[in-house]
Structure 1
Amino acid sequence: MGYAIMRMAKLKSEHELGNRYNHDMRIYNVRNADPLKASQNEELVDQLIGRTYADISDETIRNLQQSGAITKKIRKDAVRGLDIFLGFSHEDTPGIDINAWSKRCVEWLQQTFNPPGGMISYTDKDGMEVTQKINNVKSVVLHMDESTPHIHAFIVPIDEYGHLNAKAYSNGRTALGQLQDSYAQAMEPFGLSRGERHSTISHQQRSAYYNKLLQASESTLPDPAPNESLEDYHRRAEAAHQISMVHQRDSIVKEERKLARRQSILYDQTAELAKRKSEFESMKTAYEQKNRYTEQFLSSLAGQAGEPDISERSLERISKAIKRQQQFDDAVKNYPDKDKAKMVQQSFHELINWQREREKKETSYRNVDH
């Protein structure tokens, strides 16, 4: 069973949008592309109608701003488009019905990147009121002029609320993994399955590895036997070569699985560390907030007690004052002669109120003198 391949790239700047458009539309010669096969390329979806990726992105954003869906200014580093690459492993090319495969790819793109029920209303350039479904899939191009048929799709990432929102489709590695799962499931009828999860082996690295193994297998071909005919030697060498290639392919699969397992472990460890870091940051924030409240409370107590600052001695005096107040309150509550206790409490409050009024007058006099 071969592999279904799905990759995503975020396009932010005019430069990135321009380069992607020029590559997909073959505005200039593309390395590894055969110019004689360019006529076999096909635009499966074309909402551009002569416009570039930058043009259609800007126009979509303007329409949404006019409709009131986008009210904030678009940031300079906002993702204005997504490039979606869809393909399959090279060795499976002969067994794939390209027409059926490309049709299913378009269906998957439409289902995945068009928000269900999303609508937009705006006034077009001719002054006509337009209401239509949000259609983010602006272009889908089938390339047949490179070594393996593949598709490039251009997406303007609008969410169901009419906002420019790439995170709705590409928020982190988990979201990308879910997209790759979904695409692989759609490709099962073609005998394609998902590749190893969390693998970081690029197709360039894999090609280089295959080339090295091919060179190694060619170097181990058997020597011709004495008096062996060319035809007999060719059959024997071909058989040896095929056996060698089977072993080498098994070696590739084993090494890729080992690497994928290591990458998966590393990915899980990284996720755990990120979780612990987040928990630590939350604990740190809570501690700092509690510490601020404590300092504010102690400062307030120090002010009420007439202490100039918070020191070990002042805290000790405040603690003793609080303890004496608590003892007084307990004595009033528990003293057997309730009438006497109530009289003492009233006298205490009268004294406290008299002292407060006296302090207010002294403060007022000092302010007048100044």
Structure 2
Amino acid sequence: MSKFCILRIKKLHGDGNIAGAISHHLRTRKTDNANPELMRKNWFYPNDGIGSDFVSLDNRKRYQRQALSIFRKRLPEKIRKNAVRAVEFMMTVSPEVMKIPGFNPVKYMAECTKWARKKFGSENVFFVAYHRDETTPHVSLLLTPIDEKGKLNARKFFGGREKMTALQDDFYREVGRPFGLERGVKGSKAKHQSIRIFYSEINGREENLRNEAKAIANDIINKSAPKLEQIIRKYEKLSNMTPEEFSDYYKQKHSPRKNRNIGTGMEY
């Protein structure tokens, strides 16, 4: 079972990108992979303190204005045209971790935020969201990459493979390991997905699992008793698959018949 702590970052260059990211995280615009009924479980900074009403759209729009105000006040007077103005963090766990008895996602998200504030300076963190309205809880955090001279300097913190590897090491050591989680494979050639694609695929996988559960129920209802043992064996095999194996199985099962024999080296 995968038990990874996960850290993804994205560099943001324009004010429009930053405003769009905050709007997405605060759900002030339509967010397809979020369940509106679970909005009450989310938490945001900035906010109104204890007892903040995060369900209210008016409040969330106000928090958005406050976050942008904090961001703009942190910017230096002189900014290079191509400067990275903010960095977006997504901190979470592999979905299987949520099944571990005793794992506390709220405590984990709090430790993620604590780590980021300590690493990059609390004064540079201008927005935080704890998202519990999606399949896997996660932290979305935005900060200004300002160095000790007061300049925007994303390269100092995130420039080059060595610094990014060291950042992942530190995140694992300070956050992941205390929760019994694992670090991703060092030196992996795997390409990181964008934050939104990453979560849309997780939610898509959950939808596929629900579809297979319905298929199991229909098989049991429609098949005769002597075939029930065969059906049970089939779906026991599915239940033991890793998420990646299940995704491959589902794609093969539901792809058009003419494509079912396409080799694994093909992209489709």
Match of 1:107 in 2: 114
Comparing 209-218 with 47-56, which one deviates more in the overlay?
Answer: 209-218
- C-alpha separation between the residues in 2 aligned to 1:173 and 1:184? 16
Higher radius of gyration, 1 or 2: 1
Deviations 1:15-45 (A, max 9, x none): 1011011011111121111111011101256
Match of 2:166 in 1: 178
Secondary structure of 1:51's counterpart equals helix
Match of 1:148 in 2: 136
1:85 is the counterpart of 2:82:
no
1:246 is the counterpart of 2:240:
yes
CA shift, 1:212, in A, is 8.3
| Pair 172,241 (structure 1): closer, same or farther in 2 beyond 3 Å | same
Deviations 1:203-262 (A, max 9, x none): 36677789889999979xx999x9736xx82x653343222443565858xxxxxxxxxx
- C-alpha separation between the residues in 2 aligned to 1:137 and 1:206? 27
Matched AA of 1:112: K
1:192 is the counterpart of 2:181:
yes
Match of 1:56 in 2: 70
Secondary structure of 1:142's counterpart equals strand
| Pair 27,216 (structure 1): closer, same or farther in 2 beyond 3 Å | closer
**TM-score (norm: length of structure 1):** 0.50
1:19 is the counterpart of 2:13:
no
- C-alpha separation between the residues in 2 aligned to 1:25 and 1:205? 21
- C-alpha separation between the residues in 1 aligned to 2:171 and 2:91? 9
Note if contact 1:41-1:145 (Cα within 8 Å) is conserved in structure 2.
yes
Uncovered stretches (5+) of structure 1, i.e. residues with no partner: 66-72, 115-133, 253-370
Note if contact 1:46-1:138 (Cα within 8 Å) is conserved in structure 2.
no
Match of 1:346 in 2: none
Secondary structure of 2:168's counterpart equals helix
Secondary structure of 2:10's counterpart equals strand
Match of 1:128 in 2: none
Quick check: which one's helix share is greater? Answer: 1
Match of 1:258 in 2: none
| Pair 251,159 (structure 1): closer, same or farther in 2 beyond 3 Å | same
- C-alpha separation between the residues in 1 aligned to 2:209 and 2:134? 23
Root mean square deviation of aligned Cα: 3.8
CA shift, 1:7, in A, is 0.6
- C-alpha separation between the residues in 2 aligned to 1:75 and 1:250? 43
Deviations 1:114-135 (A, max 9, x none): 2xxxxxxxxxxxxxxxxxxx72
Uncovered stretches (5+) of structure 2, i.e. residues with no partner: 49-61, 247-268
Note if contact 2:46-2:63 (Cα within 8 Å) is conserved in structure 1.
no
Secondary structure of 1:193's counterpart equals coil
Aligned residues, how many?
Answer: 222
| Pair 156,247 (structure 1): closer, same or farther in 2 beyond 3 Å | closer
| Pair 83,34 (structure 1): closer, same or farther in 2 beyond 3 Å | same
Match of 1:164 in 2: 152
Match of 2:55 in 1: none
Secondary structure of 1:8's counterpart equals strand
